[in-house]
């Protein structure tokens, strides 16, 4: 049976909501309630800033929205100082904004929802969060801060970010690594459709600068399994490859093998350099990504 909080982590359900702020709050609150009921509850006190209510305490600290969902009293716990500086790199290139498979959000919308949820969670933890949107260059760079007004500004800029141009993931990452001298957590959300050597060099450059790096590799389900059931015309959204008309079932076996090799290589080489690599599809519930973030956060803090 699908629990209420599990449904709130479904990208298909969340994508029906209007506004990234509402999506982020819904996503994170559903995640936190589920976290308290899961084997991962140890994360919750340290990172979700919740603990059980002790009878006799001031009831004003109870989160009544969480109570409404869980029928239990949880108290918000706030840290006094920012102890993490995080930057979210969100790919808004043309390949991210292609029409999605039926029933799931586009890669761009999935990336925005994930980035919004992470920003909201970071803000709740009193950590500083910044944003970089990019395609073939960095489009907008918002420096990390931890205030509520800053979070709202970041959400607004993320909401209006649009794809449209070719991507240069590795080049942008390498360039930005040279500009970010203060160490912190780098979170990359992208389909990584670029030369793998260049992508890996860009990620490694952040590690050379002593940053921690977490990569969410987001693909549409049909990009993973070539799940078309009729002849199709394939068009490069970034205009760098010729159109191809094909019967996908004749290509599927070889295509799937190459995608698996690509993802295995990224995973292997990221692992060699202590970069966390998390493969996702746009149908993957967001708790997979948020738990990966918490695991990374536990090693950074």
Lookup: tokens for 240 = 């760098």
DSSP 236: -
User: Which residue from 286, 228, 230 is spatially nearest to 256, judged by alpha carbons?
Assistant: 228
What is the predicted pLDDT for the residue at 18? 85
CB of 131 within 8 A of CB of 118?
no
* Residue count of the chain: 301
Q: What is the pLDDT of residue 51?
A: 60
pLDDT tens, position by position, 245-272: 766 677 778 888 999 999 999 999 999 9
Using DSSP, state whether 217 is helix, strand or coil: strand
- CATH code 3.40.630.10 for 85-300: no
CB 107 within 8 A of CB 92: no
Find all residues with CB under 8 Å of 9, minimum gap 6, and list them: 27, 30, 31, 34, 285, 286, 287
What's the pLDDT tens digit per position in 131-184?
A: 999 999 999 999 999 899 999 999 999 999 987 788 899 999 999 999 888 899
- Which pLDDT score, from 0 to 100, does residue 44 have? 41
Query: Could you list the pLDDT tens digit for every one of the 301 residues in the chain?
Result: 345 555 668 998 999 888 899 999 999 988 887 775 554 444 443 434 556 666 666 676 677 776 676 677 776 654 444 468 999 999 999 999 988 888 899 999 999 999 999 999 999 888 999 999 999 999 999 999 989 999 999 999 999 998 778 889 999 999 999 988 889 999 999 999 999 999 999 999 999 999 999 999 999 999 998 777 776 666 666 667 667 776 667 777 888 899 999 999 999 999 999 999 999 999 999 999 999 998 888 777 5
The one-character DSSP state at 81 is S
Short-list 143, 120, 155, CA closest to 49: 120
Q: What region, left, alpha or beta, does residue 136 occupy, with left being phi > 0 and alpha being psi -120 to 50 degrees?
A: alpha
CA distance readout (Å), 161 to 164, 166, 241: 10, 15, 25
Question: Helix/strand/coil (H, E, C) string of 154-207?
Answer: HHHHHHHCCCCCCCCHHHHHHHHHCCCCCCCEEEEEECCCCCHHHHHHHHHHHH
* pLDDT confidence of residue 48: 43
Pairwise CA distance, residues 109 & 114, whole Å: 9
What's residue 49's pLDDT?
53
pTM (predicted TM-score): 0.82
DSSP letter at 128 equals E
* Nearest residue to 89 (alpha-carbon basis) of 45, 131, 26, 28: 131
Determine the pLDDT at residue 80: 40
3-state secondary structure of 130: strand
Most distant CA pair in the chain: distance in Å?
Answer: 70
Each domain of the chain, given as residue ranges in start order, spans 4-76, 85-300
């Amino acid at each position: 049976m699908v629990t209420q909080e599990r449904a709130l982590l479904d990208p298909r359900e969340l994508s029906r909501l209007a506004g990234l702020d509402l999506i982020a709050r819904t996503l994170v609150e559903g995640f936190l309630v589920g976290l308290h009921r899961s084997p991962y509850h140890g994360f919750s006190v340290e990172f979700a800033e919740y603990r059980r209510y002790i009878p006799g305490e001031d009831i004003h600290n109870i989160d009544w929205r969480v109570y409404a969902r869980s029928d239990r009293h949880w108290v918000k716990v706030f840290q006094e100082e920012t102890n993490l500086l995080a930057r979210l790199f969100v790919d808004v290139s043309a390949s991210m904004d292609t029409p999605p498979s039926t029933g799931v959000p586009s890669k761009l919308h999935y990336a925005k929802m994930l980035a919004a949820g992470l920003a909201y969670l970071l803000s709740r933890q009193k950590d500083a969060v910044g944003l970089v949107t990019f395609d073939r260059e960095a489009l907008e760079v918002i420096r990390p801060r931890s205030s509520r007004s800053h979070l709202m500004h970041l959400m607004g800029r993320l909401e209006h970010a649009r794809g449209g141009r070719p991507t240069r993931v590795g080049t942008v990452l390498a360039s930005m690594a040279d500009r970010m001298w203060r160490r912190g957590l780098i979170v990359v959300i992208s389909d990584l459709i670029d030369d793998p050597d260049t992508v890996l060099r860009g990620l490694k450059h952040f590690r050379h600068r002593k940053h921690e790096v977490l990569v969410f590799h987001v693909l549409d389900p049909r990009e993973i399994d070539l799940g078309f059931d009729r002849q199709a015309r394939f068009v490069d959204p970034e205009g760098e490859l010729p159109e191809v008309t094909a019967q996908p079932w004749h290509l599927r076996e070889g295509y799937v093998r190459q995608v698996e090799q690509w993802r295995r290589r990224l995973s292997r080489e990221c692992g060699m350099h202590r970069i966390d690599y998390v493969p996702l599809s746009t149908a993957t519930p967001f708790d997979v990504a948020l738990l990966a973030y918490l695991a990374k956060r536990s090693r950074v803090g």
